[in-house]
Amino acid sequence: MSKFQKKQANTKQQVPTAAMPDIIFMLLIFFMVVTVLREVELQVRVDFTRADNIEKIEQKRLVSYIYIGPEILGGGQYGDTRVQIDDALIDDIYAIRRLMYDKLSEEPRLIVSLRVDEASEMGVVSDVQQELREAGTLRINYSTLRGDQAPM
């Protein structure tokens, strides 16, 4: 009995903070795993359009992006519509064929995600699609936001 009383008297009336770092580390690891660092420096403006009947891309490592939109000239100015793959603007549209063919031979299940600015015209999108057909990268995805999502 006396032993029990002694123990109770020794208990510190504090919230234990020893586990706090563990909790924070868990959050930290969660964010590190979930988020993707921006891999490319965008040289064209891409404002996504919206659609309702969309799917999620499940296998992110299969995806290769093509950006289409007005070139960013700096100072809030935009130039003509250009195509960007990885870090480079494409001058010759027929170069896409080779680029994508090389990517396809590295990853046969490649999905090409077209990130097109909403103000673009269909002509350039169609040209890119024709090139993709020639390259054999036939699985494509038009990146869109969900219809009710706030603009980014």
Partner 1 sequence: MLLKKRERVVGEVPQAGMADIAFLLLIFFLVVTTIDVDTGIFMQLPPPPDPEQEPPPIRERNLMNILVNAQGLILINEEPASLQDVQQLVMDFVDNENRAQDPDLAEDPRSAIVSIKTDRQTPYEIYIDMLDEVIGAYRQLRNEAAQREFGITYREYQNRVSRDDNVIREMYPQNISLAEPDPGS
Per CB under 8 A, does 77 bind partner 1?
no
By CB under 8 A, name the one of 7, 12, 56, 61 that touches partner 1.
Answer: 56
Rg (CA), the chain: 25
Choice between 75 and 122, CB closer to partner 1: 122
- Per CB under 8 A, which region of 12-20, 70-78, 87-95, 102-110 contacts partner 1? 12-20
Choice between 88 and 138, CB closer to partner 1: 138
Q: Choose among 135, 49, 143, 59: nearest CA to 90.
A: 135
Choice between 11 and 75, CB closer to partner 1: 11
Q: State the helix-helix crossing angle for 122-135 and 95-106, rounded to 10 degrees.
A: 50
CA distance 96 to 131: 6
